[in-house]
Amino acid sequence: MTPEALAALHARAFAPARGWRAAEFAALLESPHVFAVGDTRAVALGRVAAGEAELLTLATDPDHRRCGRARACLAAFAAEARARGATEAFLEVAADNAAARALYAADGWTETGRRPGYYPRGEHPAVDALVLARRLT
């Protein structure tokens, strides 16, 4: 996928918040450690270094949610991360994102830490980020 297509999907998936811009995706994808799996309906962006993978973002078009696309992207992310030598993966998710937390729990991710007040919520108090991990072997 092009950086422009990734940005368009990300904007739809995370509206009304600001999605990542095409330039941000382009900069990430310049690294040989970063990869994207999925299509224009759902995508996972990951990075592997020193045997560890990080799920940078998982975005699903709102018109294609609850169809198994995010679960398929997680499986593809894990497979690609393993192929690149990762044995463990990490991600951050907003504590108030119940749907994502349920998806990750069903995929075997467990909470290993918390970043207080990590995600701004405009006029509302910021929300904690949960750090989740999963073995890939």
Quote the pLDDT of residue 120: 83
Quote the pLDDT of residue 80: 98
Tens digits of residue pLDDT in 11-64: 999 888 878 999 999 999 999 999 999 999 999 999 999 999 999 999 999 898
Sheet containing 88-94, strands listed edge to edge, beginning at the edge strand earlier in sequence: 34-38, 42-49, 52-60, 88-94, 124-135, 110-121
Residue 83 CB burial class (10 angstroms; 0-12, 13-18, ≥19): exposed
Looking at the DSSP bridge assignments, the partners of residue 131 are 92, 113
